Every structure is written in C-alpha cells, then in structure tokens.
A and B are shown apart, each in its own frame.
Chain A
Amino acid sequence: MARRAVCAGTPGVTGIAELASAEAVAARIRDARATGTRLRIVGRGHWLDAGRPCHPTESLRLGELRGITEYEPGDFTLTARAGTTLAEIAAATAREGQWLTLDPFGSADGSIGATIATSSAGPLASAFGTPRDHLLGCEVVSGVGEVVRAGGRVVKNVAGFDLARLMTGSWGTLGALTELTVRLRAKPEIDRTLAVEVQRPSHEMAATVWRWLRASPFTPLAAELCSSALARTLDIGDGVILLLRLGGNAQLVRSAEHAVAELGDAREVDAGVWDRLRVTEPVNAAVVRLGTVPANVGQLWTVASTAAQRAGGYAHATLERGIVRCVVPVVAAEEENGRLRGIMGELQSDGSRIAERLPESLWSDVPSSVADQLSLGIRRAFDPDHLLNPGILGSFE
C-alpha cells in the first residue's frame, strides 16, 4: 500500500539511534515497555503516510537493519534484513535471472519489511499473489521484546502454527519485523508489455476484458486497466488502456499477442511503464482500494473510475483480482473535507473497501479493521501494552 518518499521522521516524534540487530530491537522494546513508551516503527521512512495516523512517543528505527543475508539462487529463496530496499533485492536477483514478484505501489526505495508488514501488492499479484504468498519465514520482535523466528527458509513448510502469515499485514502492531525470507521466481524468457486500446463503450470495457482474460488459455503476468487520465500520465494513450504483461517462451507470447488483437489495437510499450505506475501518485492524495468478486469488476470499475475521474483523479483495476484502486488528489485537506467525503461516499463496494491514504480528518469515517474479539486477543498476546504503531489499524473495540 503506499507511496512516494516522505521524510523519515514523523513530526513531533523524538528520533533515536538506528538499531542494527534483532537483539538491539528487543532491548529497545523491553525498555519502552518498562517506561510505557509507544513506538512508531520506521524502516526506510518512505511509506509513513500510509495507513491510519498513529500517535507514538518515539520512533523505533530499523533503517540500519539492511542487506541481503542469504541468497542461494538455486533455491529461489532470499533472506534479507527488514530495511533492505526492494530496489536492492531487484538488483541482486536480476543478476541471476530471478525476481521477487512483488511490485507494491510506491518507491522501490521502500523496504521489504514494510512491504510484508503492510501486505502491499501491485499488478503482479494477478499472477503471483500477495505478500502472504511470498513470505516463507521471518524474524520478528514482539511487543514484549521476545525474538520470534517464524516459518523457515524452505519453500514448503507446515511445521507449527503459522506465525509468518499472522505477521504479514499486521502493520507492525504484533511485532517489529527484523529479517524476512521470501520466495523468488525465475524471470520468464520473454517479458513483454502491451498497451491495448480496448474497442468497447466505456461501461462495457472492464467486463469485456475480464471475460476475455477468463476465457483465454493465457495467464498474463499482469493485466491492469488504466483510466484515461492515468493512461495520459503514463504516456500510453488517450483513452482507457489495458496494460498487459505477457511472459513465457517466444511461441507462447507470440500466440498471446495474436489473441489480444480481439480486444483492440495493441502496441508494445517499454516495461518501465510498470515502475512509472508505481510512483505516479501525487504527494497529497486520498487512495481507496475497492474489491469485489471478479465477475462484478466491470460494474465496480464503471462506478469507481467515473467518480475518481470526476474528482480530478484516476483509477486502475487489477481485473483478475476484482480490485479497483482509486487515487484522488487532495489540494488543501482542511477545506476539502466536505468535497472528499462526497467522493469517498461514491467509492463504495459490497466486497471490500480499504483506505490506503487519507487526510487525517477523514480516517474517523473508516471502520477499524481490528474491532473484533480475536484481533484484540491476538494483539493482547503479542503486544499487550499496545506499544507498537498504536492505532494504525484502528481501535480494538
């Protein structure tokens, strides 16, 4: 989930020295527990505007926990300290013809720790799934200062209860991730991106493409429908554009390209478009992700992309996953609350509605995602004093 570079510090929060080992993090958390100090976990400091505002006393700085600690290409697994950036991992794996198939929205200077902690995924999730499908194991320091080593370093593992899944997407509220092991994949022989101008009336567009994908024997690496405003920003066309990423051997990709012609004019664009898509969001924006069953994605797209566009923003849809992500620029948050509330009111779905970024004053409209007894029990077990990223997932009651 999230974004572009912002400054590493959180305003009003005392900065303290970077911590360089899990043991140092554990000692820091134990100290904080003794003094009732609430902590905001900070990795590379790039994504701090994602999620609900939280109100810590101090930062728990993990930016020095950096570097790949184990990478055996033949195993397709990589272990890195939590502050290692996605760009560093991409560079190391590319040399071996491999990649970590996670492309969350935001700068590639974001860390692997934050990607897993926030369960952030991008267009590649269509084919490869989200962080929960990539994480093999992790080292995490709980809110009581215990170092827990969940999962393992092998690609298949059912030993014990699945703490690694629990940590994924917990936004640091159960512990501070210090090291992670992820699954890699081999890069396909051919990796080609097409921009397809879908020849359909706008209200039929998404549904048509989704039906085509469902019926096609091909499984694209990614299939992202971009609203016309986004297409212009990315310089891939003037209308609604389907960005289709095809991977495989030459025959497969050629055959898929041929089949895509049924949808409309397709032309190859450089793969850099995917990186541009990740960082194209304005610094100040409200971002809401809507989800539905895949067959309803057409209807959801029509409503949500129209609303986003009318508000001066844009939308894009990961069709196979039934997700439409809406980005609306915020000019001056305080005066805009009324207008933004109206727009947010239009961005609804029966399936799921996840706010990634909002002006602070609008978060009170968003229901807590942890207001149930099991969530409260889990938080109590792992961070009984609510020291870590307090409030970032909402209230526990």
Chain B
Amino acid sequence: MSLTGSSPTPTTPLSSPLPGTVRADDGLARRLAAIVGERRVLVRPGELRGYESDGLPGYQRRPSLAVFPGTREEVIDVVRLLAEGGIRFVPRGAGTGLSGGALADDVVLLGLHRLTRIVSIDAENARAVVEPGVVNASLSRAAAPFGLHYAPDPSSQTACTIGGNVAENAGGPHCLKYGVTLNHVLGLSVLLPSGEIVTLGNPTGETQGYDMLGAFIGSEGCFGIALDVTVKLARTPQAVRTLLADFSSIGAAAQAVSAIMASGIVPAALEMMDTATIQAVEASIYAAGYPTDAAAILLIELDGAAAGLDEDAARVVELSTLAGARGVRVATDAADRARLWQGRKKAFGAMGRIAPHLVVQDAVVPRTRLPEILAEIGRIGERHRVSVCNVFHAGDGNLHPNIPYDANDSDESARVHCAMTEIMEACIAAGGTITGEHGVGLDKLPYMERLFTPATLDAMCALRGVFDPDRRSNPGKVVPIHSCREWHGAPSARARPA
C-alpha cells in the first residue's frame, strides 16, 4: 500500500530553478564525501529510489543526491558547503511526513536521521536536549525511568524524529490536553541555510523580543535545520482511564464529544473512528476489539491525579450515554488500554488492506461543525463513489478523512481527486483550515491561496526571506512560489504563472 495526499494525481511542479542556484554535480558529491564519508553520499538512481517519497509515496521526486551527516559538525560543514555553492537542499528526518514535505525534486536531500543522541535529560527540571534525529518514542522511553515522557505523540511516533516534529509542529492524540510541539519546545540551536548558527528561545528563562522560536516551529524545513532541541517533558500521570464508547450514529458520537468538552473535563485524548475505519482495523492484525456494527466509536482517555479520576470517568460515561451511546467500556488494565490505542494508531496502516493506495487529509473544522461536515463528507463520498474512512482527533476538530483507492485505475483516481477537493472546500467553507498537524508540504500547496489572502501569503514569504533569503532550504514548499512578491512592491507587479 502507499499513502498519497489530498491530490492523488499530483501535477503541481516544484519551483523552477531560482536565479543563482546551482544543481548538484559530481564535484559536489566528492566534496560532500570528504565531509561525511563516501558511504554517506548517494548519487546512483537505484540508491536514491528509497528517498523518492516520504510518508505519502503517491508523490515521487528524485533527489539529485542524498547526503547523511552523522554529527553536528558534519551537518554544519555540509550546509556551509551547500551555501558556498548556492545549492538548494531538502532537510529530512525519518521521512514519515504526510504532506510530501520531505521530497527533494532534483535537489540535494539532507538526511538528519543519524543524529540520534539524547544529549541530556534534566529530570529535576523535566526537560531534555536532543539531536534532531532522535525518534519521538525513544525520548519518551529514555525519560520513563524519571517518571517523565515527551507528550506530543504523532501516530508515527515509533519512527518519526523530533527534528521532523519541530519542522511540522507535529501533534497527536494527546495534544488535546498537553498541546502540540510548539508548546513543548523551549529552545533550539538553528543552522540557517547560510551556515550561520543562531539560538532561538531560552531554556533557562523567558525570552523577550520576537518569538522566532515560535516562528521556526512548523516552518517545514524552510527556515533551516535544528541542530539541537530543548524540550519540556511531561510528568507521567498518576492514573489513566481509557474508555471506549460505541454509537449507532456519527451524529450521536459528535454530540457526545461536544458534551464532554463542555463539561469542564479535559480529556487527555478524544478520538473518533467511523464504521469504515473500525472494520478496516478489525480485519487487520491490529484488531482491537472494536464493535464492528457501530456507526462510530469514541476513544476517550482521562489522566492526572488518581483522586477524582473515576468520578470524571463516570461523568464521561453518563454524558456519552445521554448522547446516545449503546455502551461504554473502561479498559481493564494496561494491556487492554494498549490494545485499544494500537487500533487507533495503526488505523492508517490497516486501511492498506482495502486498496493499494490511500489519500490522507488533515483538515480542521470548528468542533461544533463536526456533525454537518461528517454528513457532508459522507455525501461527497457517495456522489463520487469512493469509500471515505474517518479516523480523527474529534476533541479539537482535526479530521482525517482518508480514501483507499487504486492509483492505477485512472477513473477511480479522478473521482478520489474530486472528492478530496470537495471535502477540503467544505472544511474551508466551514471556517476551518487545510492542515492541523501534517503540514502543507507539497500536497496542500494548491489550497493555500484559497485559505489566505495575497497579502498574508506575501507576509509568510517575507518571514521566510529573513531566515532563508535565497529560498534554498526546502524550495517550493508551503507557500506557492508565485504568491511571493516583493513585500514592498506594487500588488499589480505580482507575477502569476501562465
């Protein structure tokens, strides 16, 4: 199976070469090899094939070469060498991103997954300093003996890297209570595309002046490379309750979500899965014991102090039942809880059984609009004769309507493309946004101009220009290049593509 983005037949070209930028050549490969060693520079098409895709292999772009530094010093030397030559590059972590953000189209791919050192864990202050290639789940594992963990938990957490999480401002189910990556990063050492190193944020106190740390997080590799990341660690809660509520209609499940959120209880996570997703999971090796005849299930997790937690759980049961739940069960032990979560976290993988390809979306809508949007998504799916699987972060309105399909069937691909475009339009019209945690990358580029005004896109370009004036780092991503005009120029001078 492969995953693709909202546009299964991507046609958007990456940016055309910029003036003054140079393509990689053999001489470059030799000079890079002198820094990182020959084995760490790939140039042959066969070797590069594995790097043609990220988590959305529906898009394929071949890098001109790939280089994999193993130390901070090597990263700095590589970036400075590229800067000297005005050469463009794409930073990449584990390549698990779901927006095509780590694709390198005939430019240098700079892999950071070898920088896996956890530099320090300061248990007393509940923080850690890590290199960008540290895997998300490894950090939590290392922090566990101190009663701590790293709270943002994207579904790919067993593979994705902290550097990639910073680039994407990654989320995850538990971000409902604990916040996204932005809320957990205290400081960064950043290597700008020019080769200069700057410190953003202040792990030992407050900062004053512009929040460049905040601006860098979620900049999708366009502002530079994080050489080290200082993160906050969360205390492992004293107690956890995981509940599974099952509903005979999606509307009732959405109503339960609203009732729980309005009650003042802040669940650690509040996830919804629809019938199509439940059945995909239950037919897979990740079967979690979900009721296959349910129209929707909610996976609700409460955590914190043990005192009062059962009362909160009882209230959640009551509110779910009032909203029309057929039943609510509480996980009996840690193994049961892990099984319930595995079904959720591996749902995308489970959809792979249905068809060879999968489009993944990440739109967010105001939570009160969930019932109507879910109904609209259902109608769009029927109209285009595609099967939409919904599995998402209901607590914050972050949808993942996914469609399994066969990319080799051009008729089906076209229908999927139409359905996905209409779903995105519906979410934008409902006051939502195009991505809650996966990033714009390449995949959602076509929607940026529907969401933001020209002046806003321009301001984004201007901000990027401060960090990377030549737009050499991850070129052609996030903001459509033709949206960038000189900030102070006349609007009429805006160049539009033919």
Is B367 within 8 A of A381, CB to CB?
no
Partner of A292, one of B205, B365, B398: B205
A residues in contact with B387, CB < 8 Å: none
Asked whether any CB of chain A lies closer than 8 Å to the CB of B258, the reply is: yes
Besides A161-B464, A217-B304, 15 other A-B contacts (C-beta < 8 A) = A74-B258, A133-B179, A148-B456, A155-B364, A158-B437, A160-B478, A166-B211, A219-B304, A249-B308, A289-B206, A293-B122, A351-B205, A352-B204, A374-B210, A381-B459
Asked whether any CB of chain A lies closer than 8 Å to the CB of B35, the reply is: no
Asked whether any CB of chain A lies closer than 8 Å to the CB of B462, the reply is: yes
Partner of A252, one of B266, B305, B464, B479: B305
Of B198, B204, B448, most buried by chain A (CB within 10 Å of CB) is B204
**Whole-angstrom CA separation of A168 from B211 in the bound complex:** 7
Contact residues of A between 163 and 197, Cβ < 8 Å to B: 163, 165-166, 168-170, 174, 185-189
Is B431 within 8 A of A161, CB to CB?
no
A156-B180, A160-B448 are contacts. A293–B204 as well, Cβ < 8 Å? Answer: yes
What mask results when residues 340 to 375 of chain B are scored 1 for a CB within 8 Å of chain A, else 0?
000000000000000000000000111110000000
User: How many A residues touch the partner, as a band?
Assistant: 35 or more
How many Å from the CB of B277 to the closest CB on chain A? 20
What mask results when residues 444 to 471 of chain B are scored 1 for a CB within 8 Å of chain A, else 0?
1000100111011111101111110000
Asked whether any CB of chain B lies closer than 8 Å to the CB of A377, the reply is: yes
Is A154 within 8 A of B183, CB to CB?
no
Is A251 within 8 A of B307, CB to CB?
yes
Partner of A217, one of B305, B364, B436, B458: B305
Q: Determine the main DSSP class of B at the interface with A.
A: loop
**Whole-angstrom CA separation of A350 from B203 in the bound complex:** 11
User: What are 16 residue pairs bridging A and B, where the CB atoms are less than 8 Å apart in the complex?
Assistant: A73-B262, A74-B368, A75-B367, A160-B460, A161-B464, A163-B463, A214-B126, A251-B308, A251-B311, A252-B308, A295-B125, A352-B205, A352-B207, A354-B206, A370-B209, A374-B212
Asked whether any CB of chain A lies closer than 8 Å to the CB of B2, the reply is: no
What mask results when residues 184 to 217 of chain A are scored 1 for a CB within 8 Å of chain B, else 0?
0111110000000000000000000000001001
A133-B179, A252-B305 are contacts. A154–B364 as well, Cβ < 8 Å? Answer: yes
A147-B455, A256-B307, A350-B204 are contacts. A294–B125 as well, Cβ < 8 Å? Answer: yes
Is B210 within 8 A of A159, CB to CB?
no
B residues in contact with A174, CB < 8 Å: 210
Is B182 within 8 A of A165, CB to CB?
yes
**Whole-angstrom CA separation of A254 from B307 in the bound complex:** 9
Asked whether any CB of chain B lies closer than 8 Å to the CB of A153, the reply is: yes
Asked whether any CB of chain B lies closer than 8 Å to the CB of A369, the reply is: yes
B463 — nearest CB in chain A belongs to which residue? A161
B residues in contact with A185, CB < 8 Å: 266
Of A73, A250, A251, most buried by chain B (CB within 10 Å of CB) is A251
